[in-house]
Structure 1
Amino acid sequence: MQVKETKRNAATSAKPLSRIQEANRKAILNAAIEVFAASGFRGATIDEIATRCGMSKPNLLYYFKSKRQIYQQVLEQTLGEWLAPFEDIDPDGDPIEELRRYITVKLKMSEDNPNASKLFANEVLHGAPVIGEFLETRLKNLVNEKAKVIRHWVGEGKLAPIDPYHLIFMIWATTQHYADFDVQIRAVLGTQAGRPGFYEQAGQAILSIILYGIRPR
């Protein structure tokens, strides 16, 4: 009898959210990205997140029980979005085109959602207390898998002899730089950094430098 009751409670708690509940949950996470990116985990508050998304604190706590739970969900969402195009790199595709597509998508993510990149950078700079296990397991396994693909391309003469891990790190560092160090870029380039087409220009430069360097010769 107790087992049946437990199963029933679990099923009830796992029921899908309504459209309004999904919209509220999304609004909370979007607001949280901005707050955490600006203030970090320690500096951010539930009250600030609630104010940012136009919701009362009790209403917000209906969806998430703690600041840490919101923070973890935002990080997991960010990592899921970032890893999707990395996972999509096709071992049977043309290496230059596959990497061109990945770099372009990654840079577009920095342009569209710079706060997500800043949030992730802050987490890593503080020792990755929330996502450390994720980095050492799922991310590490995926990087090993893609490094093997790049190494295979090198072995077939489709890419110049390069270390696949450092290539991946370089792509991450370069594409995320435009979000994480936006203030520095604007300080150096001034209004040029904010003009239409800036990211397209940056993307062409990045693609030219990286892809030219890894072409077989």
Structure 2
Amino acid sequence: MDQKVEAAGETGATRIQTQNRQIILEAALEVFAVNGLRGSTLDDIAARAGMSKPNLLYYFPRKREIYAAVLERTLAEWLDPFAAIDPTGDPVEELRRYITCKLAHAAARPAASRLFANEILSGAPVIGGFLATVLKPMVDEKAAIIRRWVVEGRLAPVDPYHLIFAIWATTQHYADFDLQVRAVLGGQVDRQGFREQSAQAVLTIILNGVKPREPLR
């Protein structure tokens, strides 16, 4: 067989497989976010994905593998902008960019945020190893950057770990506790511009808290 033709065929198959995997993961996210790992079935996921169960099993032989893949994709999406925090950049602008990305992701994919929260509340049975081996070193690295910015006087004195926790908690709140937000704010939530207004409020509160203080005269 001509090598170029064979390569093209393999590329086409890989593209189709990648597309089908994404379809499965999107469907699984919605199913797991509602029913959790234990309450979800492969039949539920296949039906949501619009494919047969045997076809789904071709890509993922076990439900737990799908669940892990969904969580891994969510964490990758979250950690990319976190990893991109530039130690040579302006501290406030670097934090502004990260918080904005985090808020946008939570607004666009609230089911992913809720699924992650449920995994943590369940004791992180699937991603516990990831949290210890991948997340912690990255957080330590970024905390060291924030601590250096504080020492240099480019940020107000703040504990870097608790700042990171505050950013995570605040940016995910609107997704994880959507019903609570709606109970308090009512119809405001569905008005045009609400997400932008809430994002600006969060940015103002957090960034004003970390900006360098003017010396007292």
Q: Give the TM-score, by structure 1 length.
A: 0.92
Structure 1 residues without counterparts, runs of 5 or longer: 1-13
* RMSD between superposed Cα atoms in Å: 1.3
Aligned to 1:183: 179
> Where do 4+ consecutive residues of structure 1 move more than 4 Å?
14-17
Confirm whether residue 88 of structure 1 aligns to residue 88 of structure 2: no
2: CA distance, partners of 1:17 / 1:164 = 46
Instruction: Report deviation, 1:19.
Output: 2.3
Identity in percent: 66
Partner letter of residue 181 of structure 2? I
Aligned to 1:30: 26
1: CA distance, partners of 2:151 / 2:179 = 41
Confirm whether residue 112 of structure 1 aligns to residue 108 of structure 2: yes
Aligned residue runs from structure 1 range 37-186, under 5 A:
37-186=33-182
Confirm whether residue 204 of structure 1 aligns to residue 200 of structure 2: yes
Aligned to 1:194: 190
1: CA distance, partners of 2:65 / 2:25 = 11
Structure 2 residues without counterparts, runs of 5 or longer: 1-9
Q: Relative to 1, partners in 2 of residues 1:124 and 1:153: Cα closer, same or farther, differing over 3 Å?
A: same
Counterpart of 1:18 in 2: which secondary structure?
helix
Instruction: Report deviation, 1:15.
Output: 8.9
- How many pairs are equivalent? 204
- Deviations 1:30-77 (CA, angstroms, capped at 9, x unpaired): 000011011111111111111111111111101100100000111111
Q: Give the TM-score, by structure 2 length.
A: 0.92
2: CA distance, partners of 1:154 / 1:17 = 51
